[in-house]
């Protein structure tokens, strides 16, 4: 788009999205101009947004940084964009940066709201930064230890990243659990084991649930060993979820703990800022094995038509990368 104009993705109704042309003013004091190269679709959250299933009680808490509009519709949503700084202070001019910004071809943003991408992280992989930040926060909440037996139920992007992070600890036995057998190939690429729910090892020291299904949560509780922790990462939107707290839940003294990226884990909150956590997440993306999570890129202008298939529950897409015209120019 020409100077003074940008294009942005808007969710406009249940199952419908469109690209809108918007005016783009000159950056104000303290702002920079970012030209998008890549963004990523968040399967879990954006599926709920597209379906209009964000519950009214969460309308304010679910607002993403720099989103526009209001829930349920119309809303400009998204939080994983990589771009190049077109105008800004000398330290940022021309730099590749990550921003928690909706899908948009160019935008103005406060300079302190972007994080430079390390040279060793390819920009297309850097779109995983928000997911990695969520996974890192979850690991801080869960506190796995060396030589622990860990199960992660739900081999989506965040669950897979949690499994990969836990697998970096010496001696850990990490199993990624999913109902889709082909996720076994992903687990092998990430260096962890894989099992279908009925074959997953039990008596785990830690179980992380990230499938966003009641059945997955039941599996997670069943895999937990005596006095173990089950960390719940799923967000169900407006759905009501049945939790099987009968049986051995109390006699085995299991702990069910929630994790959410909106606040830094209590263990790190006194010392860490959001900026430091996001920078750490970006640095963790230097491992090329994480490319196994990325679906082949699609063009930004194809996104409205492709979103229903991308976000379908059994669509098979993990992290959908979106490419913008500026990425083709830079290639």
- Quick one: what percent of the chain has pLDDT higher than 90? 86
Whether 211 maps to a domain, the answer reads: yes
Q: What is the pLDDT of residue 244?
A: 86
pLDDT tens readout for residues 115-174: 999 999 999 999 999 999 999 999 999 999 999 999 999 999 999 999 999 999 999 999
Q: What is the pLDDT of residue 328?
A: 74
**128: Cα within 13 Å, side-chain hemisphere:** 32
HEC assignment per residue over 91-146: CCCCCEEEECCCCECEEEEEHHHEEECCCCCCCCHHHHHHHHHHHHHHHHHHCCCC
Helix, strand or coil for residue 240? coil
Q: What is the pLDDT of residue 330?
A: 64
Domain that holds residue 205: 131-258
Higher per-residue confidence, 331 vs 126 = 126
Q: Give the CA dihedral 116, 134, 36, 314, nearest 10 degrees.
A: 150
Q: Give the CA dihedral 153, 256, 65, 48, nearest 10 degrees.
A: 60
pLDDT tens readout for residues 264-306: 999 999 999 999 999 999 999 999 999 999 999 999 999 999 9
Whether 124 maps to a domain, the answer reads: no
Work out whether strand 204-209 and strand 149-153 pair parallel, antiparallel, or are unpaired. Answer: parallel
Domain count, the chain: 2
Omega cis (within 30) before 74: yes
pLDDT tens readout for residues 42-92: 888 899 999 999 999 989 988 999 999 999 999 999 999 999 999 989 889
Same domain, 235 and 314: no
Whether 93 maps to a domain, the answer reads: yes
Same domain, 148 and 212: yes
Whether 280 maps to a domain, the answer reads: no
| Mean model confidence pLDDT for the chain | 94
The domain that contains 250 carries what CATH number? 3.40.50.720
Closest CA to 220 of 241, 244, 239: 244
The domain that contains 31 carries what CATH number? 3.90.180.10
Whether 204 maps to a domain, the answer reads: yes
Task: Answer for the pair 160, 182: CB distance below 8 angstroms, yes or no.
Answer: no
Same domain, 136 and 78: no
Whether 276 maps to a domain, the answer reads: no
Helix, strand or coil for residue 64? coil
Q: What is the pLDDT of residue 331?
A: 52
Q: What is the pLDDT of residue 2?
A: 52
Is a pLDDT exceeding 90 seen at residue 239? no
Same domain, 62 and 167: no
Same domain, 135 and 254: yes
């Amino acid at each position: 788009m020409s100077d003074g104009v940008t294009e942005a993705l808007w969710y406009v109704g249940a199952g419908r999205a469109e690209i809108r042309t918007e005016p783009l003013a000159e950056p104000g004091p303290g702002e920079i101009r970012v030209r998008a190269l890549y963004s990523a679709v968040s399967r879990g959250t954006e599926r709920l947004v597209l379906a209009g299933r964000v519950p009214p009680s969460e309308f304010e808490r679910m607002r993403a940084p720099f989103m526009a509009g209001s829930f349920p519709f119309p809303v400009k949503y998204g939080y994983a964009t990589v771009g190049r700084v077109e105008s800004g202070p000398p330290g940022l001019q021309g730099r590749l940066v990550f921003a928690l910004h909706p899908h948009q071809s160019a935008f103005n943003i406060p300079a302190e709201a972007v994080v430079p991408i390390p040279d060793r992280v390819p920009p297309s992989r850097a779109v995983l930064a928000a997911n990695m930040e969520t996974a890192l926060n979850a690991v801080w909440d869960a506190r796995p230890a060396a030589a622990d037996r860990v199960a992660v139920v739900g081999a989506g992007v965040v669950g897979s990243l949690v499994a990969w992070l836990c697998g970096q600890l010496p001696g850990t036995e990490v199993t990624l659990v999913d109902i889709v057998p082909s996720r076994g190939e992903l687990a092998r690429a990430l260096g962890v084991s894989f099992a279908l729910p009925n074959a997953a090892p039990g008596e785990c020291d830690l179980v992380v649930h990230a499938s966003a299904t009641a059945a997955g949560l039941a599996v997670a509780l069943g895999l937990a060993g005596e006095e173990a922790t089950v960390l719940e990462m799923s967000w169900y939107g407006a759905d009501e979820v049945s939790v099987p707290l009968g049986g051995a839940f109390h006699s085995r003294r299991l702990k069910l703990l929630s994790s959410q990226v909106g606040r830094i884990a209590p263990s790190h909150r006194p010392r860490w800022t959001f900026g430091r956590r996001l920078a750490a997440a970006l640095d963790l993306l230097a491992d090329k094995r994480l490319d196994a999570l990325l679906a082949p890129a699609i063009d930004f202008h194809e996104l409205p038509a492709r979103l229903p298939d991308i976000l379908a529950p059994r669509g098979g897409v993990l992290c959908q990368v979106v490419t913008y015209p500026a990425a083709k120019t830079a290639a």
